[in-house]
């Protein structure tokens, strides 16, 4: 596993050395969301009994920030390697495809968790959150970041230039995360949009993660866990197949 640990170390250094951009900036962005939405809707919206809107909002912002940054980590690394022409140094060493997958995904999870913890830390100045189910919280955080880490590998392999990667993120990842119940409960939506939201896998990540704090959720956490794990398994198999085939990696 020396190849795995070396590639993982390289990926960790890559985002850590520009931490102002990769860690601090997302935390500040999430804080701005909290200030704007909590100021506008505090006292007007109560999703769960006894839970303020600000408290309801924080888990969604934590998870949204973690997911988006997990995706950005693996996708930006691969597209940079392809554009700069140094992806060959990933393919020449005796690295197995599972090692490549695990290294990129693990680095993405670590960055996502660090950003999520940063968002959680700064938002604690505005509200108090109980942690009623820590194991559920950890499970959904790790699985959610793993899904986006794998999705980032797929996007990085598919894209040939930065604007294609930006399109993938802006038209797929960002809408799915924003429309996953970060700012609202799906029970506040009309029946059609409630049904449509249930086809969004990110909804189950956010809802299950929020359950870890309040012990309350829009759907059963077991259903959410099954959907999230199944989606992660399917996406992992797709990613491994793309790596094995050399699609857009071997020129």
Write down the pLDDT at residue 85. Answer: 86
Whether 150 contacts 71, CB under 8 Å: no
Domain membership of residue 11 (yes or no) is yes
Domain membership of residue 38 (yes or no) is yes
The answer to whether residue 45 scores a pLDDT higher than 90 is: no
The answer to whether residue 49 scores a pLDDT higher than 90 is: no
Percent of residues, the chain, with pLDDT higher than 70: 96
Rounded mean pLDDT, 119-127: 91
Whether 84 contacts 94, CB under 8 Å: no
Per-residue pLDDT reduced to its tens digit, 10-25:
999 999 999 999 999 9
Per-residue pLDDT reduced to its tens digit, 64-103:
999 999 999 999 999 999 988 888 888 888 889 999 999 9
Write down the pLDDT at residue 20. Answer: 92
Q: Into how many domains does the chain fold?
A: 1
Whether 209 contacts 148, CB under 8 Å: no
Determine the Cα–Cα distance for residues 58 and 128; give it in Å rounded to an integer.
Answer: 10
Domain membership of residue 10 (yes or no) is yes
Domain membership of residue 52 (yes or no) is yes
CA angle 163-109-55, nearest 5°? 95
Whether 108 contacts 145, CB under 8 Å: yes
Determine the Cα–Cα distance for residues 58 and 197; give it in Å rounded to an integer.
Answer: 20
pTM reported for the whole predicted model: 0.93
Determine the Cα–Cα distance for residues 195 and 197; give it in Å rounded to an integer.
Answer: 5
Domain membership of residue 45 (yes or no) is yes
Q: What is the 3-class SS of 202-234, one letter each residue? A: HHHHHHHHHHHHHCCCCCCHHHHHHHHHHHHHH
Domain membership of residue 250 (yes or no) is no
Whether 149 contacts 78, CB under 8 Å: no
* Alpha helix ranges (H) inside 2-133: 2-16, 19, 25-41, 53-84, 88-91, 97-123
Rounded to the nearest angstrom, the gap between the alpha carbon of residue 145 and the centroid of all alpha carbons in its chain is 4
Assign 3-state DSSP to the chain and report helix, strand, coil percentages, each to 5: 75, 0, 25
Per-residue pLDDT reduced to its tens digit, 151-206:
999 999 999 999 999 999 999 999 999 888 888 888 888 888 888 999 999 999 99
Please give the residue range of the domain that contains residue 223: 2-245
Domain membership of residue 99 (yes or no) is yes
Determine the Cα–Cα distance for residues 216 and 49; give it in Å rounded to an integer.
Answer: 10
Write down the pLDDT at residue 125. Answer: 86
Write down the pLDDT at residue 229. Answer: 97
Question: 40 or 114: whose pLDDT is higher?
Answer: 114
Determine the Cα–Cα distance for residues 72 and 86; give it in Å rounded to an integer.
Answer: 19
Domain membership of residue 106 (yes or no) is yes
Token pair, residue 115, equals 């950003």
The answer to whether residue 42 scores a pLDDT higher than 80 is: no
């Amino acid at each position: 596993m020396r190849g795995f640990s070396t590639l993982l170390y390289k990926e960790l250094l890559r985002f850590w050395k520009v931490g102002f951009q990769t860690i601090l900036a997302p935390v500040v962005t999430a804080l701005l969301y909290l200030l704007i939405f909590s100021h506008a809707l505090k006292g007007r919206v109560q999703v769960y009994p006894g839970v303020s809107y600000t408290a309801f909002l924080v888990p969604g912002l934590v998870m949204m920030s973690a997911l988006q940054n997990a995706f950005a980590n693996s996708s930006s690394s691969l597209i940079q390697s392809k554009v700069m022409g140094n992806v060959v140094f990933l393919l020449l060493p005796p690295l197995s495809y599972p090692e490549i997958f695990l290294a990129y995904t693990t680095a993405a999870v670590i960055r996502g968790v660090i950003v999520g913890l940063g968002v959680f830390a700064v938002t604690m100045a505005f509200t108090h959150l109980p942690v009623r189910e820590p194991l559920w919280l950890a499970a959904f955080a790790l699985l959610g970041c793993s899904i986006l880490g794998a999705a980032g590998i797929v996007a990085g392999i598919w894209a040939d230039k930065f604007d294609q990667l930006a399109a993938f993120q802006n038209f797929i990842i960002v809408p799915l995360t924003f429309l996953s119940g970060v700012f609202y409960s799906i029970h506040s939506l009309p029946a059609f949009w409630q049904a449509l939201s249930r086809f969004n896998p990110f909804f189950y990540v956010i809802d299950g993660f929020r359950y870890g704090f309040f012990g309350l959720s829009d759907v059963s956490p077991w259903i959410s866990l099954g959907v999230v794990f199944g989606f992660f398994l399917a996406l992992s198999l797709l990613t491994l197949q793309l790596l094995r085939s050399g699609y857009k990696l071997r020129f």
